[in-house]
Structure 1
Amino acid sequence: MSRPESGKLALVAGAGGLPAALVAALPDRPLICALEGFAPAGLMPDQTFRVERLALFLRWLEDQGVTEVCFAGSVQRPRLDPLLFDPATATMVPRLLAAMGQGDDATLREVLAIFAEHGFALKGVADIAPHLVPGPGVYAGTPGPQDETDAARAEAILAALGAADVGQGCVVAGGLCLAVETLPGTDAMLAFTARIPAALRPVKGLFYKAPKPAQDRRIDLPALGVQTVRNAAAAGLGGVVWQAGGVICLDLPAMQAEAAARGLFLWAR
């Protein structure tokens, strides 16, 4: 099945503020769809669907004239009810379960493959709203030589963790890894960092965020926002660093203002 390369866009939205920020950045409102149980903040979905009815949802998108699909927002693996599978979706179950057994990256790649097989052009956030994914530069404050060393150390740590499909963030201070992001997420990691005794922290340190090395950047790009800056400040860190072109900033001007008020640096590296 094939469709035009450009046309009606559907946003498959997850929880959090990213879908609303993305919609606000687009010239035209896309069709908004949400996985049941993961409604986006500040948006009313046009359609809600379940994984057990994925084939029916794909057919509904076709009926709406959708040609492009973008995924944005956070979801967790839903519990599947075998009684709800329609016959067409049931044929997809073995490949989905096999992918789930290999980790989140493999699962997301399989989901993208299914959408692509049904003729949808898959768009990343950087494709449809590139200004939400900042390029290299220092956006607030001034990182010092130790920060440059810590950022390089954090990059190496995430590269190693990402190869094992673990996390998209870590905290490094004076070359020491204080925390890594796991399933509970960034906020939990920064809250943990705030409880680390000062005696174990040679310098303020930084929070570093980046996509996994082999990640398909059309889905699940890491995101930062104003609350991230606040949480980093509450954790006693000196700044927030991210991989340039690989991380979504929900409201960069607001992040800059918050960083300036709290004395943090922001650096897309």
Structure 2
Amino acid sequence: MSGAGAIGAETALIAGQGSLPARLVAAAPEMLVCVPEGAPAPVKGIGVLHFRVERLVPLFDALAERGITRVCLAGAMQRPKLEPEMFDARTASLVPRLVGAMQAGDDATLRAVIGLFEEFGFEVIGADAICPDLVPVEGLICGTLTEEDRADAERAAEIVSALGAVDVGQGAVVARGLCLAVEALPGTDAMLDFVAAHRALAPGAKTGVFFKAPKPGQDRRIDLPAIGPNTVAKAAAAGLAGIVFEAGGVLLIDRDATVQAAEAAGIFLWGRSA
């Protein structure tokens, strides 16, 4: 698989939930996989290094002892409920910095986490460094586009850019020039479910697009938006004509299954230039 040859035992995967970590493990099985305490391993039967956020510096020590020089953070990460009594002294000294970043929003939190790994000597890489084919380039992957679709995509891109500038979300749904929904804390599925439940706002045949893109200025090594078969199913249930994403800025999880689902649902997938 492309990209896997350059990734070996010197790389650690800090794995969240979802299908992305398993995809990366399949591409680079020699990586050290690290998961939060109590969370399942991304692939059954593999050994993992468990860690607690309250003991972040000891995690850095453990990685260095194993010869790790690079880390990739991938998958959905839930904000943990911190237990003060579990902090070691060195990690506790970082708490004010992390809390301040968390209060400033998701982007600030992610930048702070990346900064900590780098300060402790680790190179932070994106999922696309392991699997370059996860990030589609510009072009229509399947289906057909109308001028109305292009206009809706342009309007949705403007909305997502405005949302991202204030660290709100990475997606929006637009049909016939009208914004039907925007992505916020509940996430993409909740947004598409809302559109499906309120389709009277844009009745008729399949119309409208779901647009997804990174936030302006986002560090693309972490938390790139992702699209997969479930996204296609949700978009189809919402009566949309297609899914549009910023070319080079979105992860297409399980490409074959996603394209097959889109073709079966009669909706298009389009990588749009920024």
The interval holding the TM-score normalised by the smaller chain is over 0.9
Q: Cα–Cα, structure 1 residues 166 and 8, in superposed 2: closer, same or farther, change >3 Å?
A: same
Does residue 1:217 correspond to 2:220, yes or no?
Answer: yes
Q: 2:100 aligns with which of 98, 101, 106?
A: 98
**Is the Cα–Cα contact under 8 Å of residues 168 and 184 in structure 2 kept in the other structure?**
yes
Q: 1:137 aligns with which of 135, 139, 147?
A: 139
* SS class of match (2:104): coil
Aligned to 2:22: 20
Shift of 1:37: 4.6
Aligned to 2:241: 238
Q: 1:79 aligns with which of 78, 81, 91?
A: 81
CA RMSD of aligned residues (A): 1.7
**Is the Cα–Cα contact under 8 Å of residues 15 and 73 in structure 2 kept in the other structure?**
yes
> Structure 1, residues 43-73: CA drift from partner, whole Å, max 9, x if none?
5451111110001111010111101100100
Q: 2:188 aligns with which of 186, 207, 210?
A: 186
Shift of 1:251: 1.1
Does residue 1:158 correspond to 2:165, yes or no?
Answer: no
Shift of 1:197: 3.6
Shift of 1:231: 1.0
Count, aligned residues: 264
Q: Cα–Cα, structure 1 residues 182 and 39, in superposed 2: closer, same or farther, change >3 Å?
A: farther
Q: For 1:197 and 1:129, locate their aligned partners in 2 and report how far apart those are by CA, in whole Å.
A: 37
Q: For 2:177 and 2:203, locate their aligned partners in 1 and report how far apart those are by CA, in whole Å.
A: 10
Shift of 1:41: 4.1
Aligned to 2:117: 115
Q: For 1:184 and 1:162, locate their aligned partners in 2 and report how far apart those are by CA, in whole Å.
A: 15
**Is the Cα–Cα contact under 8 Å of residues 33 and 45 in structure 1 kept in the other structure?**
no
* SS class of match (1:29): coil
Which amino acid letter does the alignment assign opposite residue 42 of structure 1?
Answer: V
TM-score w.r.t. length of structure 2:
0.92
Aligned to 1:167: 169
Which amino acid letter does the alignment assign opposite residue 22 of structure 2?
Answer: A
Q: For 2:202 and 2:264, locate their aligned partners in 1 and report how far apart those are by CA, in whole Å.
A: 26
List structure 1 runs of 4+ shifted beyond 4 angstroms: none
Shift of 1:29: 2.8
Q: For 2:241 and 2:30, locate their aligned partners in 1 and report how far apart those are by CA, in whole Å.
A: 38
Shift of 1:23: 1.6
* SS class of match (1:57): helix
TM-score w.r.t. length of structure 1:
0.93
Q: For 2:42 and 2:200, locate their aligned partners in 1 and report how far apart those are by CA, in whole Å.
A: 36
> Structure 1, residues 84-123: CA drift from partner, whole Å, max 9, x if none?
1000101111110111110010000000000000100110
Question: Unmatched 5+ residue regions in structure 1?
Answer: none
Q: For 1:183 and 1:36, locate their aligned partners in 2 and report how far apart those are by CA, in whole Å.
A: 24
**Is the Cα–Cα contact under 8 Å of residues 32 and 46 in structure 1 kept in the other structure?**
yes
